[in-house]
Amino acid sequence: MLDVAKTRTASDILVGQWDAGTRLDALPADCRPADRAEGYAVQAHLMARTAAPLYGWKIAATSIAGQRHINVDGPLAGRILAEKVFREEDLIPLDKSLMKLAEIEFAFRMGRDLPPRAEAYGVDEVMDAVAALHPSIELPDTRYADCCAVGAAQLIADNACGDRFILGAASPEGWRKVDLAALEVTAEVVGKSQHPGVGRNVLGDPRIALAWLVNELSGLGITLHAGEVVTTGTCVVPIPVVAGDEVRASFGPWGGVSARFG
């Protein structure tokens, strides 16, 4: 089992790779997390490196295809750091991005705390704690040369491939009555390509994904706080992007979001 010193060493190594824009094959054996709990212990050291309150959480691998692609058997949770959040009007640099992918996601802003407890949270209870729905775009990334080869524990340690994030405006009132699983989403790389998606691509329903995240955090002894944002995983096959691209996503009457890359 890894002690605090070793989880901190693993975090230092990963952060060093992020800062340099380089990559590694795997964490050294003496500080490599062996299971999900150790992976989350490494990830938690990120909070000592940010001066801002936690912006929120992301979920990776919320589709069967995504799980098979990176060779994991279930979703992974990561942190959204405030300094990684961009506005739609920003030009988002790609120079240090290895993946160079845009993911179109349903995001929820929480209206009240959901603290850890022994009993699992149900979907309806979790949704009652939501303040707003937002369209969003995530740019995942990793410091592993081959993220498909390192396993869930090391991916969690590397913040579950969490990196940059763009939050669109809140959806209009009435979204709670919508079947988000059946909601069709369209995305485009302007002037280049079209990318269809649907809510059910996210663990069958973005609301189910949100409840999964709440229960994952509860099992770790972590409270999901009011004001934090949870982005629930891509509902569109990840979209390759390069400098100069603009991605626009439409959630129909429930809003849209865009991002420009430089």
Radius of gyration of the chain (CA): 17
pLDDT (tens digit, 9 = 90+) per residue, 38-91? 999 999 999 999 989 999 999 999 988 888 888 998 999 999 999 999 999 999
Q: How confident is the model at residue 92 (pLDDT cuts 50, 70, 90)?
A: very high
Residue type, position 251, single letter? F
What's the pLDDT score for residue 217? 98
Q: Give yes or no for residue 161 having a pLDDT over 90.
A: yes
pTM: 0.96
Between CA 229 and CA 16 the distance in angstroms is 27
pLDDT tens profile 209-245:
999 999 999 999 999 999 999 999 999 999 999 999 9
The 3-state secondary structure of the chain, one letter per residue: CCCHHHHHHHHHHHHHHHHHCCCECCCCHHHCCCCHHHHHHHHHHHHHHCCCCCCEEEEECCCHHHHHHHCCCCCEEEEECHHHEECCCCEECCCCCCCCEEEEEEEEEECCCECCCCCCCCHHHHHHCEEEEEEEEEECCCCECCCCCCCHHHHHHCHHHCCEEEECCCCCCCHHHCCCCCCEEEEEECCCEEEEEEHHHCCCCHHHHHHHHHHHHHHCCCCECCCCEEEEEECECCEECCCCCEEEEECHHHCEEEEEEC
Average pLDDT, the chain: 96
Please tell me the CATH superfamily of domain 53-261, with its number. Answer: Fumarylacetoacetase-like, C-terminal domain (3.90.850.10)
Interval 192-203: pLDDT, tens = 999 999 999 999
What's the CA gap between 78 and 57, in Å, rounded?
6
More confident position, 67 or 159: 159
Rounded to whole angstroms, the Cα distance separating 15 from 36 reads 19
Mean pLDDT, range 143-172, rounded to an integer: 97
State the pLDDT confidence band at 30, using cuts at 50, 70 and 90. very high
Backbone angles phi, psi at 221, to 5 degrees: 80, 25
pLDDT of residue 63: 81
Is residue 1's pLDDT more than 90? no
